């Protein structure tokens, strides 16, 4: 089975990114043919700093590798290095209903935040479809916030196949059973996001920062450490994080801390996170001293991706009468 997924180079990776996506990638590469891309073309659909983008692309590669992506088992590359992504996106736009693009929740939300939203933001889902279909991926691991875009990819694949003949597999969605939505430490009603650093715990956070953020995290009224999303969203979020990093079921954690107060629970969680995140910190520091190696991984990944992309485009052009 071939799998494709990508992450935008928009700064540091937080534990929500890791638990909801990257940890899943690490598991999938052991049993599937995985293609992972740093999707820099998606990052330019909103205002950005070119100098920061260049740095973030390299940092994203380091983060992927430090998080467990193995270039011997997976293909890792930068999206913009493969021109076929944009070529296929244009061709797929000819079979994509405009109404479907205008209904995308992410477009509606982001366009409201911007004074002058550009066409690239509207066409974002077509480029995403291109990323996936270019490699004929059969499955895509995504979070709930990208599920609607994946459904559009399926629609586009079916439309192309219907008009030009069977070409693309219709990819299925892979959703994580738990950890897909980690909430902000300072506001358990909002998803963890880099736009709110105080509520965001980064994957490569230093021990002191981890302790400080966890101890300051919002909990709920009462003192009982119990999972209840409706009545206790704060402690429920912390229990989810603890469970996923410790490998212990939430029920087991509830039993362990049934006679403890929130402060004791948070202290234990902070200790768990410091230990769990130490290998990531250590690996990232090592990779930052090996720039030549990281760039070679990306170069070799692009070379491998190019072979697949070129083959797909030759078939697409032929079927569309462009060959």
Alpha helices in 5-118 (DSSP H): 15-17, 23-28, 40-43, 50-66, 84-93, 98-102, 105-113
Residue 171 in contact with residue 135, Cβ under 8 Å? no
Taking the CB of residue 73, how many other CB atoms lie within 10 A of it?
15
Of the candidates 147, 181, 194, 306, the residue annotated as catalytic is 194
Catalytic residue of the set 136, 191, 232, 284: 191
Per DSSP, what are the bridge partners of residue 191?
183
H-helix segments, 170-261: 207-215, 233-246, 250-256
Which residue in 73, 110, 147, 306 is the catalytic one? Answer: 110
* 110 counts as catalytic: yes
- 191 annotated active-site: yes
189 is catalytic: no
Positions marked active-site: 110, 191, 194
């Amino acid at each position: 089975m071939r799998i494709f997924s990508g992450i935008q180079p928009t700064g540091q990776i937080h534990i929500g990114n890791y638990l909801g996506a990257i940890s899943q990638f690490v598991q999938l590469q052991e049993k599937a043919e995985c293609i992972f891309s740093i999707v820099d073309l998606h990052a330019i659909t909103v205002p950005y700093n070119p100098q920061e983008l260049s740095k973030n692309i390299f940092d994203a590669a380091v983060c992927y590798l430090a998080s467990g992506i193995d270039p011997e088992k997976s293909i890792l590359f930068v999206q913009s290095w493969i021109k076929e992504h944009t070529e296929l996106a244009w061709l797929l736009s000819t079979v994509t209903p405009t109404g479907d693009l205008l209904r995308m929740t992410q477009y509606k939300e982001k366009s409201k935040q911007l004074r002058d939203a550009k066409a690239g933001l509207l066409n974002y889902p077509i480029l995403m479809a291109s990323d996936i279909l270019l490699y004929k991926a059969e499955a895509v691991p995504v979070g709930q916030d990208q599920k609607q875009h994946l459904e559009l990819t399926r629609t586009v694949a079916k439309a192309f196949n219907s008009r030009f003949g069977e070409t693309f597999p219709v990819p299925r969605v892979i959703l994580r059973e738990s950890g897909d939505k980690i909430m902000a430490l300072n506001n358990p009603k909002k998803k963890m996001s880099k736009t709110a650093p105080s509520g965001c715990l980064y994957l490569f956070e230093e021990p002191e920062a981890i302790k400080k953020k966890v101890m300051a995290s919002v909990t709920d009224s009462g003192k009982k450490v119990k999972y209840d999303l409706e009545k206790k969203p704060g402690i429920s979020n912390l229990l989810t994080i603890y469970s996923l990093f410790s490998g212990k079921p939430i029920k087991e954690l509830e039993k362990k801390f049934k006679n403890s107060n929130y402060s004791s629970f948070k202290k234990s969680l902070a200790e768990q996170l410091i230990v769990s995140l130490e290998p990531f910190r250590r690996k990232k520091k090592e990779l930052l001293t090996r720039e030549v190696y990281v760039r070679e991984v990306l170069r070799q990944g692009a070379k491998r991706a190019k072979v697949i992309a070129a083959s797909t485009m030759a078939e697409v052009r032929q079927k569309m009468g462009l060959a």
